[in-house]
Structure 1
Amino acid sequence: MSTTAPVKTSRGIIGWYERREVTTYPRGWMQVGLLVLVIIANIVANYEGELAPVVPLLLPFLKLSLVNYGFIVGGTTVVSGIVAMVLGSRFDRHGRTFFVVFGTFVTALAVFSMVFVTNTIGFLIVRLIMAIILGLVLPATTGLVRDFTPRVGRALGFGLWTFGPVGANFLAAGIAGWTLPAFHDRWQSQFYIMGSICLIISIIVALFIRDLSPGLRAQIVQSSREAAAVEENAKHVSGEIANPRMVFGSFRVWSLAVGIVLFLLVYYFTTAFGPLYLETVFKYPPSQAAGVASYFWLANLGALIVVGIISDRLQLRKICSMVGVVGTLIFMFFWIHLIGQTVSVSTMIWYTSLQGVLLGIGFGPWMALYSETLEDIHPTLQGSGWALWSFAQYVLAGIAGGLTFVVVGSIGFNGWFYICTAGIALYGIVLLWSKGPWFRRPR
């Protein structure tokens, strides 16, 4: 059985984007500019951020129960995973930029269309469209981050990438906390604002985003100092991609993908239900709950950048991530015992910020570890590998989202958080035997 698949020349708009590929490995301001485009595209694609701050206002309007909302969240999230897995090899074959540009534009239109939603069916349709697009964009953007960053610098690159999912939540929560009172808590106002922002971003991305040539994508780059040699090697590469089964059949890749999803169960909960949880349990008004949630995302962003720099300098992904695992395990027992207590807004900001920091420490180095594991299998399979992670992430997170309020209704929020804590511990076990050094910096 052949281990490579030839790349065919595409026509139409996909072919036009392929003809915009660059043959010079990005460094300096070119690298920074391309990463910025990936980050802002990722902000648009992560539609959950646009929805979460207004969920406490949206559910009564749509006459949706928490349980039914949880099932909608779960079902549409699973769709994202299926789309990513089915189209995973296309991200390697045709490059990433077409999927990113198409996805950001459609998502911007979908965010605008939320203002016309008047019933549950309309809400389900819009959310389904957003979920399909997220399944396209997330693996494409993660593949682009790998393409634009050498191994020395990759954890920082992926830390910046998280400005997409994290930044979307921070931006939407911050804007909602600031503007909802001015619009008398009218939830439609947020979709006019976020839709305008998303549309502007999608136009900028379409004009300036680029892909690496297939030859460059097939290289493993340790540091930017190797750029000239990498460009020369790329000229002699035929443009073939390896068989995606090399990734899809790897138990190590699957264990890393599933393990980090279990670690991030509490993160997914905060993404979808964070402001709603703060309003329900601690009785904060909607604008205040959104404001408190924004500090979680801000702290998470800061931690991802700092741990990314440290991880790149040490080149020790596993020990850096394990620090986050241990810290998050300790914090979760404290977080569970807060339920039922009266907590001031200022104190809650400190607590949610600490949670954001610890989750960032655990997640950031994992992204570099996962990308390097895929490279070691074959450097042309990044899109397929990240599609596999997207599948694992969205299917498991979707099931968790659908069952969240069923579990909460049976054993309370503390029972759900104990399940999340077990997931964190399981990821720690996976990390113990994953590939890579613990304490000695690799050459």
Structure 2
Amino acid sequence: MSTVISENPRGIVGWFAKRDVEVYPRGWLQVGLLVLVVIANIVANYEGELAPVVPLLLPFLKLNLIDYGFIMGGTTVISGIVSMVLGSRFDRYGRTFFVVFGTFVTALAVFSMVFVHTTLDFIIVRFIMAVILGLVLPATTGLVRDFTPRVGRALGFGLWTFGPVGANFLAAGVAGWTLPAFHDHWQSQFYIMGSVCLVISIVVAFFIRDLSPSLRAQIIKDHRDVEKAQDQARHNTGEIANPRLVFGSFRIWALAVGIVLFLLVYYFTTAYGPLYLSEVFKYAPSQAAGIASYFWLANLGSLILVGIISDKLQLRKICSMVGVVGVLIFMFFWIHLIGHTVSVSTMIWYTSIQGILLGIGFGPWMALYSENLEDIHPTLQGSGWALWSFAQYVLAGIFGGLTFVIVNAIGFKGWFYICIVGIILYGIVLFTAKGPWFRRPKNAAQ
């Protein structure tokens, strides 16, 4: 059966007006739609990738670390509130409007950073970016679920992480390469990436699509279920279930909060990684940005690999637990490094290992969370991912705002011990999730 995107589109207006995929996408169409989601996610997440220029931006704005932490934390909380308030809209009206609108506004906001001269200017731009991220994250995660059956979902979400992780890698890599050429002028990074984001937003606006509401209401475990799901969709209105089914689920809240606690060190690296390397190990800003880029590259690679393994085994919980144990052991070693001189080449290896282990813990969780949402009701993916977005941004915002208050009180070692507690709590939370530990489901695709 051929895949139909739209019926009788008339020119540009028709192409934009008819945005529903009526038949489940397969083959190159499925790949193309996932690629669009990934690049849209890169743009949406670039709003937060200030880390490589923070050592240069803070003196320019005359900001200290604590004030900067509160600004980043406060605007991050805004993202979570926006996601939670609009959560049910992602299911009711589809995902693409939020993605198209969000990527275009983000591109403009990235450009606007070059006009920032005061702390108030910075707060305004950060606020706009935070609102947009709160719109786009649940929309893109919902699209990944829509375009991937369960047997390919961990890999699909591994590709989705090219958004937040890829944006970090891109920001760190471009900064490490171009900052010396532009004599460490931080504004250069926003001219470069603003141009890239604008081009991507136009491509996304033209080609991104949604599944029809009735097709989104189906659970597809593998491609053998596609024909049956399409037949059921023809007799289904796609009516949305009550979001309270998700918002009132202890299991969903536990999984959402648990993974945020596990990723505290990831959020720290996102916001302050190059700054931490500069402050503690005395690397130059361009060196610190270059080292950080290897963390993100290794993280990306591990997310893809563990996604493939997790999909093959269909054992999300044990795959994620391997990452939990690995990160836990590594964190004690990471704490031991503080106060020691470490060469750039050696630090690249250490940060790469950290990135790999975090990817192993996080990748399978995304598929696990999506499947637990589907088991409640397949029409509530947007609401469920909005809940996670709320938990993520509120908790990450609070901890981000308090990071340097904590560091000033008990040092970086004390902060990393707090991260260790979060890792342990997530390991406990995994036991609340539905899904097998060691026995592969009988209906898993061979």
TM range (shorter): over 0.9
SS state at 1:153 partner: helix
User: In 1, distance between residues paired with 2:273 and 2:127?
Assistant: 21
Q: Deviations over 1:161-190 (max 9, x none)?
A: 000000000011000000000000000000
What's the CA shift for 1:316? 0.2
Residue in structure 1 matched with residue 318 of structure 2 by the alignment = 319
When normalised by structure 2's length, the TM-score is 0.95
Written as runs of structure 1 = structure 2, the 5 A alignment for 1:179-258 is 179-258=178-257
The aligned length equals 430
User: In 2, distance between residues paired with 1:49 and 1:95?
Assistant: 25
Residue in structure 2 matched with residue 425 of structure 1 by the alignment = 424
When normalised by structure 1's length, the TM-score is 0.96
Residue in structure 1 matched with residue 75 of structure 2 by the alignment = 76
Residue in structure 2 matched with residue 46 of structure 1 by the alignment = 45
Judge conservation of contact 2:298–2:353 (CA < 8 Å) in 1: yes
Judge conservation of contact 2:55–2:275 (CA < 8 Å) in 1: yes
User: In 1, distance between residues paired with 2:144 and 2:55?
Assistant: 35
What's the CA shift for 1:435? 1.2
Residue in structure 2 matched with residue 121 of structure 1 by the alignment = 120
Q: Deviations over 1:62-102 (max 9, x none)?
A: 00000000000100000000000000000000000000000
2:164 maps to 1:177: no
Residue in structure 2 matched with residue 32 of structure 1 by the alignment = 31
Judge conservation of contact 2:47–2:130 (CA < 8 Å) in 1: no
With over 3 angstroms needed to count, the CA separation of the structure-2 counterparts of 1:17 and 1:84, relative to structure 1, is: farther
Amino acid of the structure 2 residue aligned with 1:288: Q
Q: Deviations over 1:27-82 (max 9, x none)?
A: 11001000000000000001355311101100000000000000001000000000
SS state at 1:241 partner: coil
SS state at 2:49 partner: helix
Written as runs of structure 1 = structure 2, the 5 A alignment for 1:302-341 is 302-341=301-340
2:141 maps to 1:137: no
Residue in structure 1 matched with residue 57 of structure 2 by the alignment = 58
Amino acid of the structure 1 residue aligned with 2:285: P
What's the CA shift for 1:16? 8.8
Amino acid of the structure 2 residue aligned with 1:442: P
What's the CA shift for 1:231? 1.1
SS state at 1:243 partner: coil
Identity %: 83
Residue in structure 2 matched with residue 276 of structure 1 by the alignment = 275
Amino acid of the structure 1 residue aligned with 2:436: P
Structure 2 stretches lacking a partner, 5+ long: 1-13
What's the CA shift for 1:20? 1.5
SS state at 1:182 partner: coil
What's the CA shift for 1:261? 0.2
User: In 2, distance between residues paired with 1:383 and 1:398?
Assistant: 21
With over 3 angstroms needed to count, the CA separation of the structure-2 counterparts of 1:333 and 1:123, relative to structure 1, is: same
Structure 1 stretches lacking a partner, 5+ long: 1-14
SS state at 2:151 partner: coil
Q: Deviations over 1:221-273 (max 9, x none)?
A: 01122222211111010120000000000000000000000000000000000
User: In 2, distance between residues paired with 1:238 and 1:436?
Assistant: 29
What's the CA shift for 1:434? 1.8
User: In 2, distance between residues paired with 1:197 and 1:233?
Assistant: 41
2:399 maps to 1:372: no
What's the CA shift for 1:18? 6.9
Residue in structure 1 matched with residue 414 of structure 2 by the alignment = 415
Judge conservation of contact 1:101–1:205 (CA < 8 Å) in 2: yes
User: In 2, distance between residues paired with 1:112 and 1:328?
Assistant: 36
Greater Cα offset, 48-57 or 428-437: 48-57
Amino acid of the structure 2 residue aligned with 1:205: V
SS state at 1:337 partner: helix
Residue in structure 2 matched with residue 5 of structure 1 by the alignment = none
Judge conservation of contact 2:47–2:110 (CA < 8 Å) in 1: no
Judge conservation of contact 1:49–1:173 (CA < 8 Å) in 2: no
Structure 1 runs of 4+ with >4 Å offset: 15-18
Amino acid of the structure 1 residue aligned with 2:335: I
Residue in structure 1 matched with residue 97 of structure 2 by the alignment = 98
